[in-house]
Amino acid sequence: MKRKVVVSVINDLVSDQRVHKSCITLVNQGWDVRLVGRLLKNSLELPDRPYKSHRMKLLFTTGPLFYAEYNIRLFLLLMFSKASVFHSNDLDTLPANFLASKIRRKSLAYDSHEYFTEVPELVTRPFTQNVWRKIEGLILPRMAEMFTVSEPIATLFRDKYNIKVRLLRNMPRLALTSSKKQFQGADFNLPDKKIILLQGAGINIDRGMEELIESMLFVDNAVLVIAGSGDVVPLLKEQTIKLKLQDKIIFFDKMPFEKLHGLTKLSYMGCSLDEATNINYELSLPNKLFDYIHAGVPILATNLVEVEKIIKEFNVGLIIKDISPKSIAASINSLLNDEQKREEYHQNCLKARLELNWENEEKELISCYNSFDSIG
């Protein structure tokens, strides 16, 4: 009989590829997986997946009441679940998982997708940030281990709470490169120009977006495609109109990952311009970095610690230290006008993905769940 696990995340279930990959890994290891998330007004239809999914439609969508409602309803679900393991994604799902696991004496896996208490949305709200810090400080010292997304963040958690922290970087599956559908520019109604891409599920503040848009004033014979959702997207659209750049900048809403991968493969270069304005960004390892690599797309990135390390080690793109619009434009133009260098980066991406893939990363997840098996 298969052992059961409830995996919970506060995000929409369609776009969170890290959670989906974790669920697939567990299914392949013989676990009966049930993924719990929330249903939003703009939620895409869930594709067929080899595990069960449950999306909760909540009364509240933001603020303290939203987090309270989600955790109360998740706690009740877990209390009546037949699962032997609860798998929590990020601090905002941990209270319900931790309390239910203690009451029912179940194993608990915790995956922190970022340094949650230092995200920009909390840094500017000290009271709310302090609440989450207290929740983290209350729970994490009582746990044996956890996962996170980059080695510097893992080190912070180890030093702060003296617990085992496993590294589980968010990389695509290598098999994804052989997608059944081969997308063309016509599938996205794209012009016959070189594509500069910025993709992401969280296009928020301090991501270098405003500077990237303004840089297109100094870039010719190319279009900037921004694909994804986030807090600043409406402001970016306003900025595009104000600068009269509608013919150079194209926006796409969030889309299924296979389609996004198809769009990425059509691109000439991909951008990752996060600014080190807080600890979370400074030590982050953005998903889009590996999405670009797996699509064979050279990268233009800021000099964040882990990002610079990957780009230099595998020689897959350019690092810029100054994200002023003219500096960004100069770097973009240098690659647009150097087909030979672009091809070199492209080939290096194809080699790098043989090492930087989920099939290698998931070994830590499998090891953790094997230890749950030994507990019985």
pLDDT band at 298 (very low <50, low <70, confident <90, very high): very high
* Residue 275 buriedness (CB in 10 A; 0-12 / 13-18 / 19+): middle
CA distance 211 to 226: 13
Cα 356 from Cα 309, distance rounded (Å): 13
Question: Is the per-residue pLDDT at 200 higher than 70?
Answer: yes
Give the pLDDT band of residue 375 (cuts 50, 70, 90).
low
H-helix or E-strand spanning residue 226: strand 222-228
Task: Tell me, yes or no, if the two domains 4-171+358-375 and 174-352 fold the same way.
Answer: yes
The two structure tokens encoding residue 291:
């999405």
Q: The dihedral of CA 57, 61, 65, 71: what is its sign?
A: positive
Percent of the chain exceeding pLDDT 70 equals 96
Alpha-carbon span 324 to 358, nearest angstrom:
34
| More confident site: 207 or 270 | 270
Residue % of the chain over a pLDDT of 90: 74
Whether 236 has a pLDDT exceeding 70, the answer reads: yes
pTM passes above 0.75: yes
Q: Are the CB atoms for 297 and 269 separated by under 8 Å?
A: yes
CATH architecture of 174-352: 3-Layer(aba) Sandwich (3.40)
Q: For the segment 25-54, what is each residue's pLDDT rounded down to a tens digit? A: 999 999 999 999 998 777 778 888 999 999
Name 271's bridge partners: 300
Mean pLDDT in residue range 190-198: 94
Per-residue pLDDT for 181 more than 70? no
Is the predicted pLDDT of residue 76 greater than 80, yes or no?
yes
What is the model's pLDDT at position 119? 86
Q: What are phi and psi of 86, to 5 degrees?
A: -110, 135
Look at residue 56 and give its three-state secondary structure: strand
Tokens standing for 288?
């889009």
Answer whether residue 374 shows pLDDT above 90. no
Return the minimum-mean-pLDDT range out of 22-36, 43-57, 95-109, 334-348. 43-57
**What does the domain layout of the chain look like in residue ranges?**
4-171+358-375, 174-352
From the list 300, 235, 212, 228, the residue with the least C-alpha distance to 263 is: 228
pLDDT score, position 376: 46
At the topology level, CATH places domain 4-171+358-375 in Rossmann fold (3.40.50)
Asked if residue 182 has pLDDT above 80, the reply is no
Q: Does the pLDDT value for residue 174 go beyond 80?
A: yes
